[in-house]
Structure 1
Amino acid sequence: MTDKLIYTQKIFTGSRELLIDKVSQALSAKRFEHVLRVEEMALQLAEKWHVDAELASIAALTHDYAKERSDEDFLREIEKKQLDRDLINWGNNIWHGVVGAEMVKDELGIAHEDILNAIRQHTTGATVMTKLSQILYMADYIEAGRDFPGVEEVRTLAFDDLAASVGWQTAHTLTFLLTQKVTIYPGTLLTYNTWSVDK
């Protein structure tokens, strides 16, 4: 599927191969292999849910672009872009999405807001998520390398009911975080209240 994908919409100035080269230089080999698996899953979900393949590919390839940056890089970016000051209190798990989107925009020249929002939301979700954001959120969670209790169930669900799979992931992630007794990012709680709770 990916071998035949040609970028035509001028979202990224260059080919998929050029984007892959830029992303691979920013990541370890292990992280980059994950990124390629996320792209493959995102493209499958995009086909199922009638989302543009180019948008899904670019969002997936860039979602972890900033994952291996230093804390200092993120803190500098928060200051430079005058982002929410509360972000300073969090760490890489939050920063690489919310703040990383700014690096994708500035360093890779990708300004498409749906893609940037998908990157911002791919670990925390959000109360409002486009189909693209839902796809990236799920593709990151259920890519072929993932192995955890229930992964086959939620993979199937993602192709049957995308919104329900977002709720499934959020509820299970929240349960895991609670068992770890770690501080939970408020945005994740808002995502849970929107997508996981029966109204």
Structure 2
Amino acid sequence: MKIEQAVALIKDKLPEKRVTHSLNVAETAVKLAEIYDGDAQKAELAGVLHDYCKYDDLGTMYQIVTSRGLDSNLLSYGVEILHGPVAALIMQETFGIDDEEVLLAIKNHTTGRAQMTKTEKLVFIADYIEPGRQTPGVEEIRELAYNQGSLDKTIYEISKRTVLYLISKDINVYDATIACLNYYNYSDERVKDD
């Protein structure tokens, strides 16, 4: 799928604010790809499409999880977790996207996971630091992503902050997010950098 087609797709489905966010994520992912020698085209496409199912009906998403054999643990979570895996499936089945890196980046942009591909890393970070985000502490994460030279450290910091936030609100933490936190806490890159 060409970028123009992806942009048209989200403009037809998502509210303007979410379209702006998606375009910001795509642009940020491209900047990160340039810094970290990633595939800018894959990162841009995944960035544009990552929130395609953000506003879909929860019941419909549960049906997709069940009927398509997605991880049954997803049924314990809401739209915040479900929209990534469901969007990846729809992009593959309905729109013919078959690039595994793009699909994984869409699928895991919210939760992360252990052993992410570079494209997944770029989109995961871009979703957190895009210019429209005003999360407390986001400037520190931007500094880490743009100037400290480590995708893995950035992922660890994002995962840590996400888990701490969810715990502080008594919200269940998805297994893949814990695996992401643990993996990037003990990865070879972090050990070498410390």
> Aligned pairs, how many?
186
Distance 1:195 1:114 in 2: 19
User: What whole-Å deviation, never above 9, does each CA across 1:116-164 have from its counterpart, x for those lacking one?
Assistant: 1111111111011011111000000000011122211111111221110
User: What whole-Å deviation, never above 9, does each CA across 1:9-49 have from its counterpart, x for those lacking one?
Assistant: xxx1xx32222111111211111110011011001001111
For residue 99 of structure 1, give the secondary structure of its aligned residue in structure 2.
helix
Mapping of 1:15-164 within 5 angstroms?
A: 15-159=2-146, 160-164=149-153
For residue 46 of structure 1, give the secondary structure of its aligned residue in structure 2.
helix
Please give the root-mean-square deviation of Cα atoms over the aligned residues, in Å.
1.4
Q: Which residue of 2 aligns with 1:172?
A: 161
Q: State TM-score, norm by structure 2.
A: 0.91
- Structure 1 portions without partners, runs of 5+: 1-11
Q: Which residue of 2 aligns with 1:5?
A: none
Q: Which residue of 2 aligns with 1:7?
A: none
Q: State TM-score, norm by structure 1.
A: 0.89
Distance 1:150 1:86 in 2: 30
For residue 125 of structure 1, give the secondary structure of its aligned residue in structure 2.
coil
User: What whole-Å deviation, never above 9, does each CA across 1:73-113 have from its counterpart, x for those lacking one?
Assistant: 21221122112222211111111012221011122221111
% same residue:
34
Distance 1:53 1:196 in 2: 26
